[in-house]
Amino acid sequence: MFRNFDIKSLMPIIVLIVLVVFFTAINPNFFSLRNFARIAIAASPFLMVAIGVTFIIVMGSIDLSMEGTVSLSAVIFCFAFLYFGGTLASGGWIALFAAMCFGMFYGALNGFIHAKLLIPSFMSSLAMGFVGIGATVLLTGGGIVRIDDDVFRMLLTYRVQGFPLMVYVAAFFLIAGLLIQKKTILGRNLYAIGGAEDLASASGVPVLKTRIMAFALAGFYYSLAGILQVAKLGQAESVTGANLMFLSITAAVVGGVALWGAIGGVFNALIGVLIVTVINNGMVVIGLPDYIQDGVLGALVIVAVILSTNRSTVKFVK
Amino acid sequence: MLEFQNVSKEFGPVKALANINFKVAKGEIVGLVGENGAGKSTLMKIIFGAYQADSGIILIDGRKTRFSSPRDAMSKGIGMVFQEQSLIGNLSIMENLFLGREREFQKCGLIDFKKMAEASRYQLAKVGLDIDPYMETARLSFSQRQLIELAKVLALEERSSGDLVILLDEPTSVLSEDEVTLLFELVNNLRERAAFIFVSHRLDEVIRLSDRIYVLKDGELVDEVAREKAVASHIQSKMVGREIDTEYYKQDDRLPFAPSPPLLSVQNASVRGRFEKISLDLHAGEVLCLVGTEGSGREAVLRAVFGMHKIDNGRIVYFGNEFLKIRSPNAAVENDVGYMPRERKIEGIFASMNVAENITSCQLPAYARYGLLNKAMELGLADEWIKRLSVKTPSARTDCNRLSGGNQQKVVLAKWRSTGSKIIMLDHPTRGLDIGAKEDVYSMIREMSSAGIGLLLIPDTFEEAIGLGHNIVVIKDGRTVERFDCLKQKVTPFDLVSAMT
Amino acid sequence: MSTFIKDFIEREKISRRNFLFASAAGISASALPGLFAPSSALAHGHGGYALAWSYRDRASAYWNAIVSGGEAYVESLGLDKSEMVNLINEASSEKSLADIKAFLAKNNGMGAIACDANDSPNARPVVEAVRDAGGFISTIWNKTDDLHPWDIGDSYVAHLSWSGEKPSEDAARLLIDKMGGEGGIVHIGGIPANIPAIERLDGLKNALNDNPNVELLDVQSADWDTTKAADVMASLLTRYGDEIKGVHCANDNMAYGVIEALKAEGITGMPITAFDGNPEAVDLVMGGDLLATVFTNPHWGGGIALALAHQAATGAFVPSEEPNEHREFYGPSILVTPDDAAEFKKTYLESTPTYDWTDRWGLSAGQIQYK
C-alpha cells in the first residue's frame, strides 16, 4: 500500500491507532459501531475532497478551489434534482451525473487556467474557489436549497452492517482513487510531474494535458463531496463546502502526503482524514470543553505531521 | 600541519574508512583520488567537521584536536570549496563573502556596506579578482564564482588561529579548460598561505596540480605517490584494483557504420539567440559528437531536435520524412527520439520513483490496457533491462535515489533503449561518474551504435569525443566551425581546442 | 478565511451563510454613484434634509432587509426610494467616515443618516463628524460601550442594537416546557468568542436557573456551521446517548445540521430550538422538525434608524428631551413557534408589514444593558 516501506510511512497509521486507543480509554463509548458509523458519516464527504486535492499535491501543485467547487456542485446537484422532479425515481439521478460532469468541467477549467495560462495553481485555484462561491450565492440568492426525497436520503438513513449507504459510496470512490493512483497512466504521470517536471516533459509525459486532467479529476472528487454533503445534510448552500480547504489539506499532510509533491497518495489521504475526524469526534466524546478544542486540534495536527512526514527527504526531493 | 592517525569511521556495519593515516603540510598541495564510494567524501566530511571519526587521532600543528562541527572546523582554519557551489545567487558578492559575519560590519544595528565592500575587495584581491563586490553572484560566470568560493574560504585567514587547510572538492567539474588552468595557477600562487587538499575525478588534473597523491579504495589508503612518480595508469589500477587500458573508451572497438540515408538531418537550422545555421546529418549506427565550450549552443541543438526549442529558420528532417514535424518532447518520444539531459539529478531520473517506473516513464501507454497499467509487464521489462545493462539494484522496485550515479545513468539509458528509440541524444553522459561506471557507459554507447541507433553525443572530455565519435562537429558561438571524420583522420585534443577557440 | 468570517459574524449576528454574499462581488457596486448624483429634489419632501444609509454592502439577505426598511421610510414620506443615498463602505472604516463627511459637505450639513460604522472604534469619529457638520445620525450595531448619544448631543439621535439573550431565553423556556421540565439539554453554540454566541448561551442559562430538573449536559461550538453541527451532534450522541432530551442551538443553520444528525440515527421528535428566523427554519417549525426560532425584524430596524435621524432633524422630536431608553435601545425579536409559524410566514416572509414610523419606540425591546 505504500510507496516506500519504512517506519515513517507507517507513522500515520500508528498515530491513528494511538488516538483510537486514547479516546477509548477515556470513554469506552468511543469504540462502538454506532460511533464508528458517526465518524464515517462525518468523514465521507471530507474524504472525497482530500482524495481530490491529494492528486494535485502529489503533482507538486496545490488546489484551493475545493470550497467553491463543492458548494457549487452541491447546489447544481440540488437544482438539477429538483428540476427533474425532486425524487430519485422521477429522474433525479440525472442530477448525479450533472453534478459530476460539472465538477469535472470546473476542475478542468481550473487546471486550464493554471497550466495553459501559466498562473500559479495556488492563485488560480483560490480565485476559482471564490468564483465558485460567488456563483453559488448568485444561484441560490444566498438561500438554502433543500432536497426532501426519502429515496435519495437513504444514502444517510438506510444502513447496511451499521453504516449508512453514503459510507459505501465513499468507500467505492476511495478504491477507485487508489486504482487511478496506482494503475493508470494518469496516476503514474502525476508522480512523474511531482517528482521532476522537466524530466517528465523530457520523457514525453504530456505535462499540460496531465495537469488539466488532474484538476478535472480533483474537481470530479469535489463534486462527489458536494453530492455526499447533500446526502448528509439534505441541503446545499454557498457554505456547503466551508472549512474543507484547510481540513482537506491538513488531512493530506497529516496522512503523509508531502506538499512538495510525489510522496504519499490516496491511502495517506484516507488515514489523514480519519485522524482529523477521529480527533474532532473524540474531543467531544471525551468531553473536552469546546473553547480549547481548536487549540488541541491544531497541536495534535502539528504532532501528527512531525511524526508522520519524513522531513529529512525535503532536501533532495526538490 | 594537519595529520590523521588511524582514523576510522563506520556507518552501522559498513566500514567507510579504515585506519587512515594522512597528513598535509603547509605550502603543500595534496591530491586525493578514488572511485565513487571509496570514502573520499566521508574523509572530507570528517576533515570539515560534518562527521566525527569513530576512532583515531586528528592533529593540528602537532596538537590533538577534534572538529565538532563545520563551524568549529572553520574556526580552526579548515575551509572547504564546495563542489555544488554554495553561493546564494540573489545576494551580492560581498554579502556572500561575509554571510553569517555581518555583525562585524554592523553600526547602530545597520550594516555598513561601504566597510563590507572594502573588506570584500581585499579578499577578492587574494584570488586576483578585480570585480565590483556589489554585483549579484548570479550574474557571474562559473569560474568567477569558483574564485569567490575560494576567496570566501581564504577570508578565514583573518579569523582562524592557525594556518589554513583548504579542501577543494571537485573544483574543476564545471570549469572549462582555460578556467581550470587559471584556477591551478591561483592555487599554486596561494601555496604559501595554506595547505590544499584537492579532490577530483580527473586524474590528469590531480597529477598536474598535486605534490603528493593519496589513493583511496574501499575506505583504505592504498597508495601514496609523489608527483614525480605519478603515472596515470598506475594510479588508476590502484583505484580500481586492476590495470586499465588508458584508452578506456576503446577506440579500437569503434566500428564504421554502414552507409544509409540519414536518420536525422538538421539543415541550416537556427534558434534565435542560441545557434545559427547549423547543419548536420546523423546516420544509423553513427556516434556524432558535438564539441564546443559552455554556451556555444551545443545543448540547444539537442533540445531543438527534441522539440524543446522552436526552430526559427531552416529545418530538421527526421527519418527522411519531410512531413514529420516534432514540436514537443512528447512528439519526439512518440517518434522514437530519446534525450538524456545533462543534470541527471534534476532532469535524468525521478528520484522518488522506483527503477521500473523510471524505465517505463516515457512509454506508459504501451503498458496499459483499458487505461490500467499492467504492472507485471512493467516489472518484466525492467528486469530484462536490469539484466541487459547489468544495473546494480536490489530489485526493479528499488527507488532510484538509492542507486549510484552510474547505475542511475544506466536506468536512464534503459528507459530510452527499451522504447526502441532510433535516435538517442546524450548530454554529458559520463559527468560525475567514476571510472568503472564510465567504462560501462562507453560500452553501452558502443553497443547502441552497433545496434544501429543514431547517437548524438555531447562528450565530457575531448578524449571521449575522439574515442567514441565517428564524426565530430565543433560548434563555436552557435555556428559550426569545423568537422572531423574520426575514421579517416587521427584527431587530437589540440585540433579540437584550436577549432573551438 | 476564518478570521474574516469571525469578524463579520460578530457584526452580523445572523448567519454565517450571509457572509458569503460578499463573495458575489459587484452586486453592490451599482449603488455607489448615488453619492455624487445631482440632487435637485433634496430640498423638498425631506424637510430640507437629505437622507442616507451607510453600511457595508447590500449583498446579504440581512442587510437587504435593513436597507429596505430605510427605503420603506423614504417612501412613506412620499418620495421615491432612490432619494435615499446608499453610502457603501465595503468594510472600510475610512471609507465609511469619508463618505459621510462628503455627503454632509455636499448638503451643507443638512443630512439625516443611518449608519453601521463598520467597526466599533469608528463610531465615535463618525458621530463627531456629523455633529460638527450639523447633521443628524442614528447608528446600529457597531459602537464602543463608552460612546452614548446623550454625551454627543442632539446630532447623535439614537443607537439601536439587538440582544440575543432574552429571545434565546424565551426559546429555551419553550424547549424546557416541551421536555416536560426535566432531562438533559445540549447547547450547540456559535464561535465561542462571538458576542451573539455568548448572549444566546446566557439566555439558555437564565432559563435553566429556574428549572433545576433540567441539566445542561454539554456546550459545544459548531462555528455557526451546518456541517460541523451535524458532526458535533453525532459525537454528543456517542457521549450522552439517550440522556439528551432537547437541543438548544445558537442559530438556524446549526439546527439544520442537528436535525440531520438525528435523522441519520433514526431519532425523531427531539425538541430543538434555533435562532434567526430564516425562511427554511420557519418551514421546519411549521413541519414540526424544529420547535422554535427567533426573528429579529431587520426591516423595522433599518427603517426606524433612518426615521429617528430624520425626524430629529426636522424637529418632530428633540432627542435630548427623550429618556435614555429612547436613545439606546434593543430592536425587537419574535419567537416563532408551531402555533404562529404559519401566520408569521405570511406576515413577515411572504410580505412586508407596513409600519408607522412615527411610533418611534413601539417595537423597542428596552434600553441597552452593558455588562
pLDDT of residue A6: 60
Give the residue ranges of chain C where pLDDT is below 50: 1-44
H/E element holding B462? helix B462-468
A206 contacts in chain B (CB < 8 Å): 330
- Residue C300 and residue C73: Cα distance in Å, rounded? 9
H/E element holding A2? none
Residue B438 banded pLDDT, cuts 50, 70, 90 = confident
CB contact under 8 A, C24 and A293: no
Neighbours of chain B (3+ CB pairs under 8 A): A
In sign, the C-alpha dihedral spanning B315, B268, B271, A196 is positive
- Domain C2-162+297-332 fold: Rossmann fold (3.40.50)
Beta bridge mates, B275: B271
Q: How far is A58 from chain B (nearest CA, A)?
A: 11
pLDDT of B325 over the 80 cut = yes
pLDDT of residue C24: 39
| Residue B103 CB-density burial (10 A; 0-12 exposed, 13-18 middle, 19+ buried) | exposed
pLDDT of residue C19: 38
B375 contacts in chain A (CB < 8 Å): 183
- Residue B150 and residue B486: Cα distance in Å, rounded? 40
Instruction: Considering only residues C237 and B401, tell me which one the structure prediction assigns the higher pLDDT.
Output: C237
- Residue B292 and residue B176: Cα distance in Å, rounded? 10
Retrieve residue A184's grid coordinates.
493508470
Class of domain A7-308: mainly alpha
CB contact under 8 A, C241 and A29: yes
Domain assignments of chain C as residue spans, ordered by start: 2-162+297-332, 165-295
Which residue of chain A has the CA closest to B372? A184
> Does C288 contact A at CB distance below 8 Å?
no
Retrieve residue B395's grid coordinates.
530489485
- Residue C360 and residue C157: Cα distance in Å, rounded? 12
pLDDT of B323 over the 70 cut = yes
Which residue of chain A has the CA closest to C233? A284
B346 contacts in chain A (CB < 8 Å): 196, 198-199
Beta bridge mates, A211: none
Q: How far is B122 from chain A (nearest CA, A)?
A: 35
Least confident of A117-121, A185-189, B3-7, B85-89: B85-89
CA–CA distances in Å: residue A14 to residues A274, A304, C284: 12, 10, 44
Q: What are the backbone dihedrals phi and psi of residue C144, each rounded to the nearest 5 degrees, phi first?
A: -75, 155
Residue with cell 469546546: A290
Residues near A120 by beta carbon (within 8 Å), at least 6 away in sequence: A114
Listed residue (B61, B64, B45) closest to B53, CA to CA = B45
Neighbours of chain A (3+ CB pairs under 8 A): B, C
- Residue A6 and residue A313: Cα distance in Å, rounded? 13
Q: How far is A264 from chain C (nearest CA, A)?
A: 27
Give the residue ranges of chain A where pLDDT is below 50: 1-4, 312-318
CB contact under 8 A, C256 and A235: yes
- Residue B127 and residue B186: Cα distance in Å, rounded? 7
Q: Of the segments B185-199, B404-418, B425-439, C291-305, which one has the largest average pLDDT value? A: C291-305
What ipTM does this complex have?
Answer: 0.90
pLDDT of residue C33: 41
Residue B246 banded pLDDT, cuts 50, 70, 90 = very low
CB contact under 8 A, A206 and B330: yes
Retrieve residue B306's grid coordinates.
527534441
Alpha helices in A27-162 (DSSP H): 33-58, 66-83, 93-115, 121-140, 150-157
Q: What are the backbone dihedrals phi and psi of residue B184, each rounded to the nearest 5 degrees, phi first?
A: -65, -40
- Domain B260-336+460-501 fold: Rossmann fold (3.40.50)
- Residue C294 and residue C167: Cα distance in Å, rounded? 7
pLDDT of residue B12: 64
Listed residue (A261, A243, A222, A205) closest to A107, CA to CA = A222
Instruction: Name the pTM for this structure.
Output: 0.76
**Residues in chain B, total:** 501
- Residue C316 and residue C309: Cα distance in Å, rounded? 10
Strands B194-199 and B29-34: parallel
**Residues in chain A, total:** 318
Residue B245 banded pLDDT, cuts 50, 70, 90 = very low
List b or e across A210-245, with b for residues whose CB sees 16 or more CB atoms inside 10 angstroms: bbbbbbbbbbbbbbbbbbbbbbbbbbbbbbbbbbbb
DSSP C27-65: TTGGGGGGGGS--GGGGSTTTT-EEEEEES-S-SHHHHH
pLDDT of residue B173: 67
Tens digits of per-residue pLDDT, B178-217? 788 888 888 888 888 889 999 876 778 888 889 999 988 8
Give residue C227's Cα distance to chain centre: 23
∠ Cα C243 C244 C246 (to 5°): 145
H/E element holding B270? strand B264-271
- Domain B2-240 fold: Rossmann fold (3.40.50)
Q: What are the backbone dihedrals phi and psi of residue B28, each rounded to the nearest 5 degrees, phi first?
A: -105, 150
Instruction: Considering only residues C259 and B459, tell me which one the structure prediction assigns the higher pLDDT.
Output: C259
CA–CA distances in Å: residue C52 to residues C47, C68, C97, C113, C128: 14, 12, 13, 5, 17
Same fold, B2-240 and B260-336+460-501: yes
Select C165-295's CATH number: 3.40.50.300, 3.40.50.2300, 2.60.120.10, 3.40.1130.10: 3.40.50.2300
pLDDT of residue B350: 83
Residues near C77 by beta carbon (within 8 Å), at least 6 away in sequence: C45, C46
pLDDT of residue B352: 77
Tens digits of per-residue pLDDT, C32-69? 444 444 443 343 467 789 999 999 877 667 888 899 99
Q: How far is A306 from chain C (nearest CA, A)?
A: 25
A286 contacts in chain C (CB < 8 Å): 239
CB contact under 8 A, A199 and B347: yes
Radius of gyration of chain B (CA): 25
3-class DSSP state of B92: strand
Neighbours of chain C (3+ CB pairs under 8 A): A
Domain assignments of chain A as residue spans, ordered by start: 7-308
**Angle at which helices A150-157 and A207-233 cross, to 10°:** 100
DSSP A72-90: HHHHHHHHHHHHTTSSIII
- Judge contact between C35 and C85, C-beta under 8 A: yes
Helices (H) and strands (E) in chain A, counts: 14, 4
CB contact under 8 A, A229 and C234: no
